[in-house]
């Protein structure tokens, strides 16, 4: 029997519980205020797996019932699941634990059908806080329905914290110039999502840029004067510029009141007692307008003073502040200057991520979450094997240094071009390895994900998905940087920004041949998948086409740089192919997301199409 996350103790026994038309899901009187939610989830999952819709009631357990209850003898998030021939009992130490037992039983039923194998399961997570962090600002802004589907999925794998990263994609009441050309979330969206999460024992935590990464705010005429750099509002849009610049000038006395007002307005929408101020990658701090202050006090001193102001403000309003630790890890002793309840989010995304930062922050006495990533940023399909290696290492470090939680990140960077569906394996890795330290090998893990998440009896779809990105030799990051060099004249000092693989003759054709073979395997696999999971195949087909188009485009531009003759017929054909692909891409994007940065992605795509037709000089 395959269960994810893997339970701590499972004893399979002889016999079966036979689910029938008269089987009842009974909510015990102590099951808590969300007992009906647990019962409804179980009812829906059992119907999907067995075709039988069990009635729901409340009260005392009878023989043959599926009974949901709490047990004061169990700890927080700890559950026992007992399946016997005479009935099923799910007992939890709290409501969340009852829900976890429901999710485990749902996975069992998906494999057993209406004859549920008898078993005794005792389970409790290793790490108390297991979170997922989604970039809802720099590219895709998922519709509320899409966010709820994401919540359902992370609930299925017992994740209990969800953070939405926002820079400008919330409709602040007084910041109209910031969001006027965007498709922001509204207060109603957040309030509804908060309720939906709360019913599933997922804490929806606000994550708001408050220091660096404030491109849209600091690109307005209204607030551009608060940017560390001069005349930020005059600059044309650039993904690179948005990543690297737009830090607030902390020396300006008008900055702190504005940021505090944003924290107060946004934080009021959430029932969580936590708030992530982010405060990462403050690249420009002390470089221009506050340079004199930096020379007098030091940029690190300016950093910790501003972060302390925000953390103290949140603490006074009953919130536990969180912030990303990439700056403070250079001076880990500064953690003692922040309120005691402050939590450092120590991140690192390399496949062989070092533990130095985790160790330093632990030695300094920091409370911390460790933050791995699903490695989808700047890729058409996630670097799934990289995410597996990164997540397993960071979960190991979390145990070693007694971190309070894992926050698995899904960043958008340059437009969030990858479909969020491609982050699902990485999301499941984080859920599983933060729950149970027992590592499952990469291929075996993907086989189980294929079975449990996609209903793929062949066990191959997740592994095939993981191979696509290995053959991307001109990825979105390279395409964007090359575009900005020639179209926006960024980084002119570099002779070439084309990856070496693209410059090798024949490399693109060889990579694309392998992608086509993978896509054919995926299309053969579709018959073994559950019908509701099959749209993934179309998404992969479209993404595989993207990888091939950009590989060929990079190869042609590399040939141009080498001074080789331009095959005009081939170039025009590739431009037309790119435009047809992008029309399908826009349709898929809009099915699950608001417009977001789609128009900025279009600018780059059409620049390349025009370049292939000789309309652009580069």
Please check whether residue 586 is in contact with residue 542, taking contact to mean a CB–CB distance below 8 angstroms: no
Half-sphere exposure of 56 (CA within 13 A, CB side): 15
pLDDT at 327: 96
pLDDT at 609: 97
Q: What is the CATH number of the domain that holds 55?
A: 3.30.379.10
- The verdict on residue 454 lying in a domain is no
- What's the rounded Cα separation, in Å, for the pair 406 and 432? 11
Q: What pairs with residue 117 in β-bridges? A: 16
- The verdict on residue 164 lying in a domain is yes
Whether residue 430 sits in one domain with residue 385: yes
DSSP per position, 283-295 = TTTTSSTTHHHHH
pLDDT at 492: 52
For 256-310, how does the pLDDT look when each residue is reduced to its tens digit (9 = 90+)? Answer: 999 999 999 999 999 999 999 999 999 999 999 999 999 999 999 999 999 999 9
- The verdict on residue 617 lying in a domain is no
Whether residue 113 sits in one domain with residue 178: no
The residue ranges of DSSP E strands in 384-494, in sequence order, are 405-410
Please report, for residues 160, 482, 494, 559, the alpha-carbon distance to residue 490 in angstroms, rounded to integers and kept in the order given: 42, 9, 9, 22
DSSP per position, 265-284 = HHHTT---SEEE------TT
pLDDT at 497: 65
For 469-490, how does the pLDDT look when each residue is reduced to its tens digit (9 = 90+)? Answer: 999 999 999 999 899 988 888 7
Nearest partner of 37 among 153, 195, 272, 190, judged by Cα = 195
Whether residue 393 sits in one domain with residue 478: no
Cβ within 8 Å of residue 127, ≥6 positions away? 395, 398, 399, 403, 404, 405, 406, 434, 435
- The verdict on residue 448 lying in a domain is no
- What's the rounded Cα separation, in Å, for the pair 367 and 342? 7
- The verdict on residue 570 lying in a domain is yes
The pair of structure tokens assigned to 112 is 């057993």
Please check whether residue 73 is in contact with residue 175, taking contact to mean a CB–CB distance below 8 angstroms: no
- The verdict on residue 187 lying in a domain is yes
Nearest partner of 221 among 161, 178, 275, judged by Cα = 178
Burial call 17-28: b when 16+ CB within 10 Å, e when fewer: bebeeebbbbbb
Please report, for residues 236, 479, 543, 601, the alpha-carbon distance to residue 239 in angstroms, rounded to integers and kept in the order given: 10, 11, 21, 9
- The verdict on residue 3 lying in a domain is no
Q: What pairs with residue 161 in β-bridges? A: 131, 203
The pair of structure tokens assigned to 348 is 């690192």
Last residue of a domain, one of 93, 123, 153: 123
Please check whether residue 162 is in contact with residue 134, taking contact to mean a CB–CB distance below 8 angstroms: yes
Total domains in the fold of the chain: 3
Angle at 550 between CA 547 and CA 551, to 5 degrees: 80
Whether residue 109 sits in one domain with residue 138: no
Whether residue 198 sits in one domain with residue 152: yes
Nearest partner of 606 among 479, 509, 420, 491, judged by Cα = 479
205: left (phi over 0), alpha (psi -120 to 50) or beta: beta
Last residue of a domain, one of 423, 439, 455: 439
344 CA to centre of own chain: 19
Cis upstream peptide for 386 (omega within 30°): no
Phi/psi at 441 (5° precision): -55, 150
Radius of gyration over every alpha carbon of the chain, rounded to an integer in angstroms:
26
- What's the rounded Cα separation, in Å, for the pair 356 and 336? 19
Instruction: For strands 367-371 and 343-347, give the pairing.
Output: parallel
Whether residue 145 sits in one domain with residue 118: no
Whether residue 137 sits in one domain with residue 111: no
Last residue of a domain, one of 383, 404, 439: 439
Cβ within 8 Å of residue 234, ≥6 positions away? none
Please report, for residues 33, 45, 101, 115, 457, the alpha-carbon distance to residue 54 in angstroms, rounded to integers and kept in the order given: 21, 10, 17, 14, 26
- What's the rounded Cα separation, in Å, for the pair 482 and 477? 9
Whether residue 358 sits in one domain with residue 308: yes
- The verdict on residue 208 lying in a domain is yes
Ranges of the chain whose pLDDT falls below 50: none
Q: What is the CATH number of the domain that holds 373?
A: 3.20.20.80
Whether residue 477 sits in one domain with residue 434: no
Instruction: For strands 203-208 and 161-166, give the pairing.
Output: parallel
Burial call 57-91: b when 16+ CB within 10 Å, e when fewer: eeeebeebbbbbbbbeebeebbbbbbbeeebbbbb
Residue 206 parent element (H or E):
strand 203-208
The pair of structure tokens assigned to 167 is 């820079």
pLDDT at 491: 66
Residue 14 structural domain: 9-123
Whether residue 485 sits in one domain with residue 380: no
- What's the rounded Cα separation, in Å, for the pair 190 and 252? 31
Residue 489 parent element (H or E):
none
Residues in the chain: 618
Whether residue 529 sits in one domain with residue 429: no
Please report, for residues 248, 276, 277, the alpha-carbon distance to residue 266 in angstroms, rounded to integers and kept in the order given: 19, 11, 11
DSSP state of 373: B
- What's the rounded Cα separation, in Å, for the pair 216 and 239? 12
Burial call 294-317: b when 16+ CB within 10 Å, e when fewer: beeeebbbbbbebbbebbebbbee
Whether residue 20 sits in one domain with residue 93: yes
Cβ within 8 Å of residue 330, ≥6 positions away? 300
């Amino acid at each position: 029997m395959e269960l994810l996350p893997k339970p701590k103790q499972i004893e399979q026994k002889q016999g079966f519980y036979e689910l029938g038309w008269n089987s009842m899901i009974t909510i015990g009187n102590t099951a808590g205020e969300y007992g009906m939610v647990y019962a409804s989830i179980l009812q829906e999952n059992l119907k999907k797996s067995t075709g039988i819709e069990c009635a729901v009631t409340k009260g005392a357990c009878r023989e043959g019932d599926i009974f949901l209850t709490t047990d004061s003898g169990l700890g927080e998030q700890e559950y026992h699941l007992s399946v016997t021939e005479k009935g099923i009992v799910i007992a939890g130490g709290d409501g969340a634990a009852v829900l976890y037992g429901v999710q485990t039983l749902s996975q069992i039923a998906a494999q057993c059908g209406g004859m549920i194998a008898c078993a005794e399961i005792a389970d409790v997570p290793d790490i108390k806080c297991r979170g997922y962090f989604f970039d809802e600002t720099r590219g895709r802004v998922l519709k509320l329905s899409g966010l709820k589907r994401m919540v359902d999925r992370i609930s299925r794998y017992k994740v209990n914290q969800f953070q939405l990263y926002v820079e400008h994609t919330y409709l602040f009441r007084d910041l109209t110039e910031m969001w006027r050309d965007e498709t922001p979330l509204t207060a109603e969206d957040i309030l509804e999502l908060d309720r939906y999460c709360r019913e599933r024992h997922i804490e929806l935590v606000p994550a708001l840029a408050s220091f660096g990464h404030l491109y849209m705010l600091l690109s307005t005429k209204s607030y551009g004067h608060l940017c560390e750099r001069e005349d930020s509002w005059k600059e044309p849009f650039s993904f690179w510029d948005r990543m690297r610049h737009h830090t607030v000038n902390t020396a300006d006395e008008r900055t702190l009141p504005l940021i505090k007002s944003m924290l107060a307005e946004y934080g009021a929408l959430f029932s969580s007692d936590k708030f992530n101020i982010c405060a990462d990658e403050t690249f420009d701090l002390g470089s221009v307008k506050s340079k004199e202050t930096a020379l007098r006090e030091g940029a690190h001193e300016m950093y910790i003073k501003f972060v302390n102001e925000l953390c103290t403000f949140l603490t006074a309003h009953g919130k536990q502040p969180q912030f990303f630790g990439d700056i403070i890890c250079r001076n880990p002793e500064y953690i003692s200057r922040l309120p005691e309840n402050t939590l450092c989010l120590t991140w690192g995304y390399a496949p062989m991520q070092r533990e130095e930062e985790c160790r330093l922050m632990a030695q300094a006495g920091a409370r911390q979450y460790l933050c791995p990533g699903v490695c989808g940023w700047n890729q058409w399909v996630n670097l799934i094997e990289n995410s597996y290696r990164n997540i397993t290492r960071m979960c190991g470090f979390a145990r070693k240094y007694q971190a309070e939680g894992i926050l698995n990140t899904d960043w958008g960077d340059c437009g969030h071009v990858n479909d969020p569906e491609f982050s699902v394996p990485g999301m499941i890795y984080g859920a599983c390895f933060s729950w149970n330290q027992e590592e499952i090998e990469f291929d075996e893990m993907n086989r189980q994900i294929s079975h449990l998440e996609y209903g793929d009896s062949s066990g191959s779809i997740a592994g095939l998905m993981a191979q696509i990105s290995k053959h991307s030799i001109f990825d979105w990051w390279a395409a964007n940087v090359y575009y900005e060099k020639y179209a926006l004249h960024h980084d002119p000092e570099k002779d070439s920004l084309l990856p070496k693989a693209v410059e090798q003759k024949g490399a693109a054709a060889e990579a694309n041949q392998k992608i086509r073979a993978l896509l054919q395997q995926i299309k053969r696999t579709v018959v073994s998948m559950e019908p509701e999971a099959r749209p993934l195949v179309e998404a992969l087909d479209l993404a595989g086409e993207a990888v091939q188009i950009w590989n060929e485009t990079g190869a042609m531009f590399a040939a141009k740089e080498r001074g080789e003759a331009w095959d005009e017929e081939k170039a025009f054909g590739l431009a037309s192919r790119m435009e047809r692909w992008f029309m399908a891409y826009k349709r898929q994007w809009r099915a699950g997301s608001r417009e977001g940065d789609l128009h900025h992605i279009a600018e780059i795509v059409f620049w390349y199409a025009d370049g292939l037709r000789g309309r652009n000089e580069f």
